[in-house]
Chains A and B, each alone.
Chain A
């Protein structure tokens, strides 16, 4: 209580207390504020005894402490979409495509606003906020210093204006003004980082997007490309021969270790690996020492410098030995670089990676998620003989800790690990992984794109390995809030339902499929129909199935302008007929039957039998005759059998009998016709 009182430091309350007790508010006065007279007395006493009242010092709070505490009380709502969609209930996404679209549009709106502010700062000269909020104001991107001087050059470098900086440097050189080593080095930093290209606005925007909402960053085709770029460390332009960085490096009157190091890092970043190695040799010849980042870059370059696996490892090891010789202490990133290089060293990598991990342990460097990610992909990607030893040990380690990001590669751990669990078909490991993900802030390592992949893999594994009740429970909790199931997840779910003999759940799954926007996927529809029509079920389930069938039928029919209906396949058509027949909807079933002729397909015997059964149950001899007629016109062998069945099982009137007889005659005469249509078909 005392903390709250003081922490709040609220003037009003203190004032009120002060007035009432007429005395500097201390601890005692607050405790019983009900009787002011009694208070006054005690206070008088204290004054008499000259007791000093120590005012508590102000308690300083972390400005986020309260919010963090509050945030930790919020549980996840399994029925709700992601928080970022909750501004507008109308724009609540119901499937993966919508979710992507909405989050992209939200972010692009934000980016547009930023673009305007950045490009037209002159319209934003009023500061309305008091105190000012700098992040909402335009940054000044125009250099303030005029003229040609080192000061101006430094400012341009700071503002990351590559071309202007180079021009300014050249002017200074031509003017004979020496540029200090430090400034030249930072110019080299700039040039090497951007690979001698301008930091393009798209690039920058992408990076900023990355910072805020990485999942909305790129459209579907773009995302893998970007990842690939990241993996090969060659984002941005390639290193060109004799670019400005090299030129400036050459004309530098004196170079220190930093100059060499930044050149090496730039060359590695932009894919000039052998150049980087040569530069490193130069550095050694000049008797300089490289720094740890440079070694990290060189180690990452090792797989590109040598052909054979062993040689690659030897080179990386050489760099490590050099580090030890030059007394450069390795960091976590050093070892992560080693592990990353070992990924490209095949079996050698697998053997050596364990030694590397032991070395880290010996140096008290805790592996990050990236280290484990490299390890897992070494052991489980493309290796046939798989055992769960390594991953279970890794998970045991991961489970114990809450991680913070230390390496850009940290992000891919959880997806990789889940993939491994899927490959091993080990549900226990997957549960363990889930537990690790829930620990601390570990969830932050999955952005929304990866989240979808992670959970859909997990869900497929569940469908494969778990009891159907458990699967359905997860399905309820996960879909829409954690991820949007993909077509494959639905297929897996259907298979699990089939295996557990719970086909009555199918109509509700179909509802979900409609919302997820997969109602036009042929493979899914096929699976639905074949599962529904395979066995006979109680009548209410059959009715529900027939409803689904009707909706599936609707997808195949022209609905509105611009909507191309799906093509019927023979089997789908047959399944729909069976479903209608079993539900006793003879008219709908007949309509479907007629489609067979339109699309030149043949109904199977099963379909026709079901149809006849239905006709019998609903007592519709007319339909049965039509059926026989159809079968005869298609020239089916079974038409004779159907005809005799119709004669036996139905009570036919005279006209109907006649009709039936005439069919037979028709069928005989149209034999040649049906033959020709057969050949057409084939």
Chain B
């Protein structure tokens, strides 16, 4: 029923400007209040308007047709005189005959005609309101019901959750019941099962867990276990899992990746230091000037030694140690021949 009600509400909200009440209200408010205020009021009216309309329909269908139709017909046709609607405070027009009678009374009185009319009408209105209320049951109450319904409608997921929660609860009870007398309860469970498989709104997100395990907090134990060498089971399982995603390469690069993994292909990026035995880095191989400290700063020996290190720096086959030894050999050699050289 909630959908019916709300649908009704929607339509009435959409067409609210055409209803006489709304129009009258707007006329009344247009005089002084700002637009925002007007909108607020209209917004407030929405529910009540629909509620009234709804009740009108219900009433019309129910009973007391004639008497009511008179009143309602006048209401909805909007044939109420302008002067009266101005007086009404909540947009509910009064029976014109009553108004006429009231003004007649007022005119018979000596002073402040207008004030008297409005006083009288206000009293009448109050009177009518209370009777209406008592006739139809509390407005507020029904309004609450409606608003509650719309809340429900807004979140069907929640509702689904609640329903499935309820059902799984039920099932759990069933399951527990079956346990003591397993064989006899089999059919019961099966029945419930079938009933549920068609009724339950199933989802991965809602529902209970098994509640068998608790979350792990025993890390050290795990660490100990993984240390032991893999058994044939582990090896074969790893192979099987790897086979799941081992697809033939889709392009040349993927093929090269595969070859790299197998160790067939030279690794990328091409690295000239691959396979070099000592930990020396390239600059130690190339920049050998620092080993020329012990040589003269200039002259033919210096020139000769610069050529030597130039050659050494281009030689990839010697280790750094060998290169240094090579330089040292020259150093010793020139040291030994120092006298001889000086003679020259």
Contacts and interface: CB of A to CB of B under 8 A. Distances in A.
A323 B286 CA distance: 63
Interface stretch (B48-56, B76-84, B251-259, B333-341): B251-259
Contacts of B186: 308, 310
Nearest to A57: B281
A361 B120 CA distance: 70
A394 B202 CA distance: 12
Contact of A347 (B190, B249, B314): B190
Interface in B227-255: 231-233, 236-237, 239-255
Interface residues of B, number: 77
Contacts of A215: 248
A44 interface: no
A311 B175 CA distance: 12
Interface string A377-404: 0010001010101100110010000001
A262 B254 CA distance: 38
A359 B213 CA distance: 8
A186 B248 CA distance: 34
Given A310-B186, A394-B204, A83 B241 contact: no
Interface in B187-216: 189-190, 193-194, 196-198, 201-205, 207-216
A193 B237 CA distance: 11
A356 B210 contact: yes
A539 B65 CA distance: 75
Contacts of B220: none
A277 to B, nearest CB: 18
A569 B262 CA distance: 57
Contact of A11 (B207, B209, B254, B286): B286
A385 B283 contact: no
Given A9-B273, A394-B204, A355 B209 contact: yes
Contacts of A636: none
Contacts of A135: 262-264
Contact of B244 (A9, A103, A445): A445
Nearest to B222: A329
Contacts of A323: 212-213
Contacts of B295: none
B287 A361 contact: no
B165 to A, nearest CB: 12
B182 A311 contact: yes
A interface majority secondary structure:
helix
Nearest to B241: A405
Given A193-B236, A207-B239, A7 B269 contact: yes
Given A189-B233, A262-B233, A406 B243 contact: no
Contacts of A435: none
Interface string B76-106: 0000000000000000000000000000000
A211 B202 CA distance: 39
A25 B282 CA distance: 11
B268 interface: yes
Contact of B216 (A329, A389, A441): A329
B70 interface: no
Interface in A303-360: 308, 310-311, 317, 320-321, 323-324, 327, 329-330, 347-348, 350-351, 354-359
Given A24-B287, A359-B209, A390 B198 contact: no
B213 A445 contact: no
Contacts of B210: 317, 320, 355-356, 358-359
Interface string A74-110: 1010000011100000000000000000010000000
Contact of A321 (B212, B240, B281, B286): B212
Interface stretch (A33-41, A63-71, A119-127, A472-480): A63-71
Given A64-B261, A67-B256, A324 B239 contact: no
A407 B245 CA distance: 11
A115 B318 CA distance: 42
A11 B287 CA distance: 11
A193 B233 contact: yes
Contacts of B249: 83-84
A61 B269 contact: yes
B275 interface: yes
A320 B218 CA distance: 18
A265 B233 contact: yes
23 contacts: A11-B316, A18-B286, A23-B287, A58-B281, A83-B248, A83-B251, A83-B255, A84-B248, A212-B246, A293-B233, A321-B212, A323-B212, A324-B213, A324-B214, A350-B202, A356-B210, A358-B208, A359-B209, A389-B203, A390-B202, A404-B245, A444-B245, A448-B247
Given A193-B232, A323-B213, A350-B202, 5 more contacts: A67-B260, A186-B231, A211-B246, A351-B196, A355-B207
Interface of A: 7-11, 14-15, 18-19, 22-25, 55, 58, 61, 63-68, 70-71, 74, 76, 82-84, 103, 131, 133-136, 160, 186, 189-190, 193, 207, 210-215, 262, 265, 291, 293, 308, 310-311, 317, 320-321, 323-324, 327, 329-330, 347-348, 350-351, 354-359, 361-364, 379, 383, 385, 387, 389-390, 393-394, 397, 404-408, 410-411, 441, 443-448
Closest 4 CB pairs of A and B: A71-B253, A358-B209, A444-B245, A63-B267
